[in-house]
Amino acid sequence: MPEENKKSPSRREARLAAERAREAHIAPKSPAARDQRVLADDDDILAPRKSRAKAAPGKPRADKKPAGKEKAAKTAPQKSRLYGDEAGVSPQKSAKSQPAREGQKKAGRVMARRVGKATMAGMKRFNAFSYSQGDGTRRAFRIPLTSRFLLIASFIIIFLMILALNNQSISVDEETIAIAGLPADLEDYRILHISDLHAAEFGTDQATLLRTVNSLDYDIMLITGDMVGASGNAEPFLAFLRGLNTTSNVYFIAGDSDPGPLLSQLREGEGTLDQLVLEDWVLEAIDLGATYLDAPVSLSIGNNGTTLWISPFSQLGISAKEAVDLYEDQLATERIGYLSGIGADYIQYPFTDYRYRQAQSLLSAISQMSADDVHISLAHVPPMDSLLSIVQDDHSDTPNEYLYAPDLVLAGHYCGGVVRLPGYGALYVPDALQGSHHGWFPDQARVRGQISVGNTTMYVTGGLGATDAVKFPFRLFNTPEVSLLTLTGLLTDNMLIGG
C-alpha cells in the first residue's frame, strides 16, 4: 500500500509536468510584446495602400522580423504577467484561460483586417462610381454645336415675339395739367393727346388702337403731327379716324415727316381753294370730320362764356399785321400775271391766296382773344425755352399784333426716344431746332412728360410709332402711348417745383 501511494503521486506529477510543458510551449508573449503586435497590425490596416505595397524582390519588409527570430520568440518560455481579474486566479486556471483569449484576439485582428480591406475596397468602388457619374453628367451638359445654335435662335425668336407684342400694345399716360386761373367750366376738362403714328398699324383697321381710344372718356382730341410720316401711306391714319366714335372734336396739324401739307404743285381741275392746294391725306381727313388746324380756332365751353383757343404753334411769334400786308402786296402782283396767263404767277397765285387767308384768320383771332381765355397751342417739335420766352415777350410788347402766349403747348416728335434703356430713358432724340436737349443722352425731363417755362406748361407725348429720324425700325423698351390730360386750376406738384 505504501508503495502504491508512492507511485500514484509520481504519475500525477508526470501529467502536471507534461501539461506545464505544453502550456509553456503555447504561452503568449509578454503583454508589452502583445500590445506592440496589436499596434503593428492596426497600422498595417490603416496605412495607405501605396505604403503597404509589396517590398521589392529580395528585400524583406522592414516592419517584419526574420522568420527565425519570430519562431524563437514564440517557442521561448516566458513568465506571464497577470492583469486585471487574472491577478486573483490561480496559475493553473489562468494558464488554461489564456489560449482562449489569445484565439479570440487573433480572430478579432483577422476580422478587423478583413473589415478594413472591405471598407477600402468599398470606398474605391464608390469613388470610381462617383467619378464616372460626374464625367457622364459633364458629358451630358456638353451641348452640341447644333443644339447651341438652336438655343440661341430660340432666344432670338422669343425676344422678337415679345418685342412685337410690346410694339402692338397701347399704354395710356394720364397726367394732370395745372393752369393758373383756369375757369370753372374747364375744371377736369380732358384732352386726348395723340402723335407720331408714322403709318404704324395696330391690328386690322387699327382695331387695337381704336379699342383703347374709344374706351377713354375725353372732351377733345388733339393730334400733333407725323401721323402719316415719311412713307406717305395715309391709310393707317385714315382708318383710325374712320373707327373713332366721333370726329367732330378732332383737331390735327402736320408734322415734319408728313407730306405737305401744301402741294408742291397746283392740283389740276376745279375745286375749292383747299382742294387745289392741300395734300390728299389732309383733304381726306377733313372729309372724315377732323379739323385741320392752319389758324387759331375758338371753342365755347360751358354756360359761363368760357372760351378755349386752339392754335398752331407755327403762328406764334408772327406779326399778323405784317403778314397780312406782305401777302396783300404779293397777291396784287401775282393777280396781274394770273389773269394774263403767265405760267409762274398762275401756279403760285392760289398758294399765296391760301397763306393770305391764314394771315387774316390769325389777325382776327388776335383781336378776339382775351387774357381770360385759355390758350392751347399744338406744336410738332417741342419748342426751345428761348422761343417760348420770345412768344411771351412779343405779345406783352405789341398785344394787337401777336397771339397771347399759350397756357399749354402740346408736342411730340421724339417718340419717347424710340430706343430706351430701362432705368435710364431715351438714348437719342432728334430735334430739328437743334436745341440744347437734342442728340445723345438728352435731358430725360424734356423727352416725355411736362415741364414749365415761365407761365407756359409744355407737355411732350411719347407717341405711337418710330420716327425715321432715328434709324431703328421699331420701338425698344418703349411701349406706344396716348396721353390723357386733365386740366385743373388747383396747385400741383409740377407747379410747386417749377416743372
Question: What mean pLDDT, rounded, does the chain reach?
Answer: 80
Q: Is the pLDDT of residue 38 over 50?
A: no
Mean pLDDT for 487-499 is 69
% pLDDT > 70, the chain: 72
Asked if the model's pLDDT at residue 476 lies above 60, the reply is yes
Separation between Cα atoms, residue 126 and residue 333, nearest integer Å: 107
Q: Are strands 439-440 and 428-429 parallel, antiparallel or unpaired?
A: antiparallel
Looking at per-residue pLDDT, the higher value among 341 and 304 belongs to 304
Angle at 192 between CA 187 and CA 194, to 5 degrees: 150
Residue 438 is placed in which grid cell?
437734342
DSSP string, 345-381: HHHHHHHHHHHHHHHHHHHHHHHH--TTSEEEEE-SS
- CA angle 311/358/259 to nearest 5° reads 80
Predicted local distance difference test score (pLDDT) of residue 463: 94
The whole-number pLDDT of residue 96 equals 52
Q: What is the C-alpha to C-alpha distance for residues 29 and 234, in angstroms, rounded to an integer?
A: 114
Upstream peptide bond of 144 is cis (omega within 30 degrees of 0): no
Q: What is the pLDDT of residues 259-300, one digit of tens each?
A: 999 999 989 888 999 999 999 999 999 999 999 999 999 999
Asked whether residue 101 carries a pLDDT value surpassing 90, the answer given is no
Residue with the larger pLDDT of the pair 169 and 83: 169
Q: Taking 70 as the threshold, does the pLDDT of residue 27 lie above it?
A: no
pTM over cut 0.95? no
What pLDDT sits at residue 337?
Answer: 78
Q: Which domains does the chain have, with CATH numbers?
A: 2-140 (no CATH), 154-496 (3.60.21.10)
The whole-angstrom separation of Cα 365 and Cα 139 is: 81
**Average pLDDT, integer, range 110-124:** 76
305 Ramachandran zone, left/alpha/beta (phi>0; psi -120 to 50): left
Once rounded to an integer, what is the mean pLDDT over residues 179-193? 96
Rounded CA-CA distance 339/341 in Å is 5
Q: Does residue 433 carry a pLDDT above 70?
A: no
Q: How confident is the model at residue 86 (pLDDT cuts 50, 70, 90)?
A: very low
- What pLDDT does residue 52 have? 46
Over residues 214-267, the pLDDT tens digits come to 999 999 999 999 999 999 999 999 999 999 999 999 999 999 999 999 999 989
Whether 4 has a pLDDT exceeding 70, the answer reads: no
The mean pLDDT of 51-69, rounded to a whole number, is: 47
- Indicate the pLDDT class of residue 129, thresholds 50, 70 and 90: low
The reported pLDDT for the residue numbered 446 is 86
pLDDT digits (tens, 9 = 90+) for 382-397: 998 888 888 888 777 7
Neighbouring C-alpha atoms within 13 Å toward the C-beta of 349: 16
Instruction: Using the predicted structure, report yes or no on whether residue 372 has a pLDDT greater than 70.
Output: yes
How confident is the model over 415-431, as a mean pLDDT? Answer: 81
